[in-house]
Amino acid sequence: MAVPVAVLGAGSFGTCLAMLCARENDVTLWSRDPVVADAVAREGRNPHYLRNVELPESVRATADLGEALRGRELVIVAVPSHGVRDTLSAARPHLDPGAILVSTVKGIEPETGYTMHRVFRDVLDAAHHPRIVCLSGPSFAREVAEGKPTMVTLASEEETWAISVQATLSGPWFRCYSTSDVLGVELGGALKNVIAIAVGTCDGLEAGLNARAALMTRGLAEITRLGVAMGADPLTFQGLSGMGDLMLTCTGDLSRNRHVGLELGRGRRLADILGQMHGVAEGVRTTRAACALAARMGVEMPISEVVRDVLDEKLAVREAAIRLMTRQLRSERD
């Protein structure tokens, strides 16, 4: 059965999800920028992201949030993490009372330490809270748009809603699994970006494949440590939204966060790197938020801490590697 869908955010992932949903559904794609919305409506292509991908005629682009949300039963939010609170606040009066909301955003709000699910709950009326679903997993937008096989996880506190979205989004090349561990799925998706910066830096230094494998493994250990301390299921971090997304983001050439790390390792300054990027590297903001959250929880996250210090230009990348390698020796289970 066709479902009216709204996708909020016309970046690369929002654009590819609009295309994905348009296989069988009527889709509105909202862009904050009227120029982008007009270009998509006129040419059937996003002028800034996935420019080679032709969108189906069933995708209607608009810069009017009310128009985008009118009568929509499924609302997918694909804006950068720093824009989620403002976008939801503006969207709230226009949401259908029975709408299911899907967050594809991978980040932690620096001011509050909230995951995106908690930001959704903070902004939206209580009636919407059970129907908030979080999507995460190894999923480069370009590969989804090209029809390459992709698998993700959908999480909701009442898993029935994740299963409902699972049926709508899944298809021949896009497969969704469901879970009720919202916190674990969100933390895995957010924190892997921090580790990807670390791994990218390691590769930029040409430190070798041994070092890359070690950073990914110990990075997963510290993600799991924080997640368990906050109440997540440790098994979640072995799944698509944990290990799966970590492997992709740390090693894939399409990873923005890996790119930031690579350029840092090659000696470039953060401001220069970000100034030449098209799109958001969520890990930069998430690193500081994750370290603050870990400090409040009393959880040690040494890789995240050295990434923060490198980003803040308090530590040179080679000194960061030495700091990690010369830490006090301990059991691998610590």
What are the catalytic residues?
Answer: 192
Backbone angles phi, psi at 23, to 5 degrees: -60, -40
190: number of Cβ within 10 Å:
26
As a whole number of angstroms, the distance between CA 21 and CA 14 comes to: 10
CA nearest to 38, candidates 15, 14, 60: 60
Alpha carbon 65 to its chain's center:
22
DSSP state of 93: G
- State the burial class of residue 49 (Cβ atoms within 10 Å of its Cβ: 0-12, 13-18, 19+): buried
Place of tokens 């906050």: 230
As a whole number of angstroms, the distance between CA 201 and CA 212 comes to: 10
As a whole number of angstroms, the distance between CA 48 and CA 36 comes to: 8
